[in-house]
Homo-oligomer: A and B are copies of this chain.
Amino acid sequence: MFEKTVVDENYVRIPREKLFNFVVEIFKRLDVPEEDAKIVADNLIMADMRGIESHGVQRLKRYVDGIKVGAVNVHPNIKVVKESPVFAVLDGDEALGQVVGYKGMKMAIEKAKKVGVGIVGVRNSNHYGIAGYYSYMAAKEDLVGVSMTTSRPLVAHTGAMEKFMGTSPISVAAPVEGSRPFLLDMATSVVPSGKIEVYRRKNKPVPGDWAISTETGEIIHDPNEILSPKGTILPLGGLGEISGGHKGYGLGAIVDILAGILNGATWSKHVGGTSDKHSDVGHFFMAIDPGAFGDKEEFKKNMRKFMEELKNAKKHPKFERIWVHGEKGFLTYEAREKLGVPIYKKVLDEMNAIADELGVQKLP
């Protein structure tokens, strides 16, 4: 088994189905239509199932708060602003990001199936959960999927010393013959903020040079400081240009351009959080049909060869094995289908407090 049955004493395991129904109920009580509630629940729980706890149900409270303060519109009128056979631009009307995101990637997939390529840009949305949820939707349909989103400012670009850019993730997925898809899902910052939250919870310094002080510019390791206004995360590649920090900065800028500016959405430091009115988060979805560019089965076969070759390359003695992207997440998913999803007890308490308030049956 890929995963130990007991994570540690701070976690309880909840069966996937039970957790899913619980989250759906919460959103329904907040007047979210059932169909939409299921999309959001599926997105959040997929994050937990794949081991991306930072983007899972521990964020439930943020979404609930966003709806409660009226920053998130649960009855959006999602408008198609522009559309052609190959692309579309959607106005999310401040919906839950997952709801617009699901619709956007679905449209991109339909277009790709018809004309080989589909691109859908979104403006006026909210946090859409894990980027990989959408690219994976495409891969399940034997398409290459791309998903990007702007996000609220947490990162200092090269030469800067403030929370300015988002951790703006990029995800790409592609089908593989006889196997789980390739699935890259990465923040363009050196780490996503959720990874720092994990160290804050454990009350431990972060192990890498991931952040700087917004006052001195020095590298800092205290997760509390990093997540406060006194700290800011670095782009992929770190501080300065010596290890390519300007590249992570550039990748973040690409996301601001393609997911934000291109679609009439805002960018970097103007992007709001889930409880902000008009957070104006933008997304970019693309699907490409390998069957249009060439032979689909040949593509999938070559993807399998590529993945196998990567895994069978000459191994570094300090590493146990070589992974391909998505593999760890799928193995974690499969283990958690059997064992249940580990939920941090404090998160469970918070979720049950929400349930109490909304009249939903608490989790065990």
Known: A254-B184, A262-B144, A293-B89. A319 touches B240 (CB 8 A): yes
Question: Complex: how many Å from CA A314 to CA B160?
Answer: 6
Of A115, A243, A246, A322, chain B has the most CB atoms within 10 Å of the CB of A243
Asked if A191 is an interface residue, CB under 8 A from chain B, the answer is yes
Contact with A172, one of B160, B254, B295, B315 (Cβ below 8 angstroms): B254
A202, CB-defined interface residue at 8 Å? no
Chain B residues, CB < 8 A from A244: 186, 190-191, 236-237, 248
Q: For the complex, is A209 an interface residue (Cβ under 8 Å from B)?
A: yes
Whether A298 is near chain B, meaning CB under 8 Å from some CB there, is yes
Interface window among A23-31, A53-61, A71-79, A302-310: A302-310
B237 and A237 contact, CB distance less than 8 A? yes
Closest to A261 in B: B302
A107 contacts the other chain (CB 8 A): no
Most B Cβ at <10 Å: residue of A182, A242, A244: A244
Indicate whether A201 reaches chain B with its CB closer than 8 angstroms: no
CA distance A341 to B175 in the complex (A): 46
Q: How far is the CB of A289 from chain B (nearest CB, A)?
A: 9
Contact A321 B184 (CB under 8 A): no
Whether the pair A164, B89 counts as a contact (CB closer than 8 A) is: no
Partner of A314, one of B84, B161, B207: B161
Out of B209, B254, B322, which one reaches A160, CB within 8 Å? B322
C-alpha spacing A174/B89, complex, angstroms: 19
So how many copies of this chain end up in the complex? 2
Do A84 and B306 touch (CB < 8 A)? Answer: no
Stretch at the interface among A9-17, A32-40, A151-159, A344-352: A151-159
* A323/B159 contact (C-beta < 8 A), A244-B236, A306-B268, A309-B269 known: yes
| Number of residues of chain A lying within 8 A (CB) of chain B | 86
List 7 additional contacts besides A86-B117, A186-B251; criterion CB under 8 Å.
A82-B292, A159-B323, A208-B243, A237-B237, A256-B306, A264-B293, A267-B302
A109 within 8 A of B: no
Our pick among B84, B174, B191, B267 for the contact of A115 (Cβ within 8 Å) is B84
Within 8 A of B (CB), among A244-276: 244, 246-251, 253-254, 256-258, 261-264, 267-269
| Of B161, B214, B236, B322, the contact of A247 (CB 8 Å cutoff) | B236
| A250 with B290: CB separation less than 8 A | no
Q: Which B residues touch A86, using CB under 8 A?
A: 85-86, 115-117
The CA-CA distance from A318 to B310 in the complex, in Å, is: 39
Report if A238 contacts B (CB, 8 A): yes
A299 within 8 A of partner (CB): yes
Residues of B close to A81: CB separation below 8 A: 294
